[in-house]
Amino acid sequence: MITLKFPRTRGLRGVHYQLPDHIQVLLRQYRQRAGQNEMGGLLAGWMRQKCMSDVWTISHFSLPSQDHPAGPRWFQLNRQVAQNFIDDLFVASSGTVYFIGFWHTHPEPHPSRSRPDERVIHDLFRNSRLEISTQLGIIVGNQGSLYAWCQRADGQISELPNKRYF
């Protein structure tokens, strides 16, 4: 299990995201190889509150799909696919599992987010009816590193440095 811990800042609660082993296996499997386009999908999970932080367990992970436009160095979520995922999840889980963000790959060993990556989350906050105030972005490097950032609805961002997990 990987835990991505975003500490408490400026009076805001900390946010932790737990990635169970089977999701770690999937992220590892989808590392971008030479000649491939970037790929990615959506993340969802459930939350419990601890005294200082919200702890999310990621339970749903959507696999790469041709529905999301991408090139060797860019990735964009298909807005309708994202909306369907959010709506289906809400119904299927009776409102207990929430959409929490998205993952995608980069063709580099030490990835970090781009402006378009931030824009994906910004647009989801603006265009989708979400119950959450923070979203998680995960970028999978091509040699086993993950980069993660947490973006709040007001645009505030915290990030975790690259770390090699697999």
Quote the least distance from Cβ 113 to Zn ion, whole Å: 6
Say which amino acid occupies 25: V
- Separation between Cα atoms, residue 100 and residue 144, nearest integer Å: 22
CB of 90 to Zn ion, least distance (A): 27
**Which of 75, 77, 74, 72 is closest to 33 using CA atoms?**
72
59 or 145, CB closer to Zn ion? Answer: 145
Q: Cβ closer to Zn ion: 45 or 137?
A: 137
Interface residues toward Zn ion, by CB under 5 A: 114, 117
Nearer to Zn ion, 44 or 77 (CB): 77
Measured from the CB of residue 140, what is the shortest distance to Zn ion in angstroms?
Answer: 10
C-beta closer to Zn ion: residue 17 or 117 = 117
Residue 161 CB, shortest distance to Zn ion, in Å, is: 16
Query: Containing H/E element for 20?
Result: none
Nearest residue (beta carbon) to Zn ion: 117
CA–CA separation, 73 and 98 (whole Å): 29
Check residue 97 and report its DSSP letter: S
Cα–chain center distance at 4: 11
